[in-house]
Structure 1
Amino acid sequence: MLIEDLLYTTENSLIVQSLHSQLGVEPTNGDGFGVGWYDDRPTPGRYRSTEPAWNDRNLREVAGHIRSPMVLAHVRASTGTPVQLTNCHPFRHGPWLWMHNGGLAGFSAMKRDLLLAVAPQLFPHIEGSTDSELFFYLALTFGLESDPPAAVARAVGLIEEVGRQHGQQFPVQMTVATTDGDTLWAFRYSTEGRSRSLFRSTDISVLREQYPDNPVLHRLSDDARLVVSEPLGGLRGAWHEVPESTCIVIRHGQEEFLPFAPTVLEPVG
Structure 2
Amino acid sequence: MPIWADDNFPEIAETIRSHSVLAAVRSATADTSHEESEAAPFRREQWLFSHNGAVPDWRHLLADLGETEHLVLDARSDSALLWALAATRLSTGRELPSHVLLELLRAIAAIRPTARLNLLLSDGQAITATA
TM-score (norm. length: structure 1): 0.43
Higher relative contact order (CA 8 A, sep 6+): 2
* Structure-1 residue corresponding to 2:85: 138
User: Which structure 1 residue ranges, 5 or more long, are not aligned?
Assistant: 1-48, 164-169, 189-269
Q: Give 1:105 deviation, angstroms.
A: 1.8
Greater gyration radius: 1
CA distance in 2 between counterparts of 1:133 and 1:65 reads: 28
Q: Give 1:76 deviation, angstroms.
A: 2.3
CA distance in 1 between counterparts of 2:105 and 2:90 reads: 13
Q: Mapping of 1:1-269 within 5 angstroms?
A: 49-50=1-2, 52=4, 56-80=6-30, 81-108=32-59, 110-113=60-63, 117=67, 120=70, 123-124=71-72, 126-143=73-90, 145=93, 146-163=95-112, 170-188=113-131
Give every structure 1 segment of 4 or more consecutive aligned residues whose post-TM-superposition deviation is greater than 2 Å.
140-146, 160-163
The amino acid of 1:128's aligned partner reads A
Give RMSD over aligned pairs.
Answer: 2.4
Q: Give 1:136 deviation, angstroms.
A: 1.6
More strand by share: 1
Query: Retained in 1: the 8 A contact 2:105–2:117?
Result: no
What is the identity percentage for the equivalent residue pairs of Structure 1 and Structure 2? 27
Write out per-residue CA displacement over residues 18-52 of structure 1, whole angstroms, 9 at most, x where no aligned residue: xxxxxxxxxxxxxxxxxxxxxxxxxxxxxxx2461
SS of residue in 1 equivalent to 2:23: strand
More helix by share: 2
CA distance in 2 between counterparts of 1:113 and 1:61 reads: 43
SS of residue in 1 equivalent to 2:22: strand
Count, aligned residues: 128
The amino acid of 1:140's aligned partner reads A
CA distance in 1 between counterparts of 2:56 and 2:117 reads: 11
CA distance in 2 between counterparts of 1:148 and 1:114 reads: 23
CA distance in 2 between counterparts of 1:118 and 1:181 reads: 30
Distance 1:128 1:149, change over 3 A: same
TM-score (norm. length: structure 2): 0.82
Distance 1:61 1:119, change over 3 A: farther
* Structure-2 residue corresponding to 1:266: none
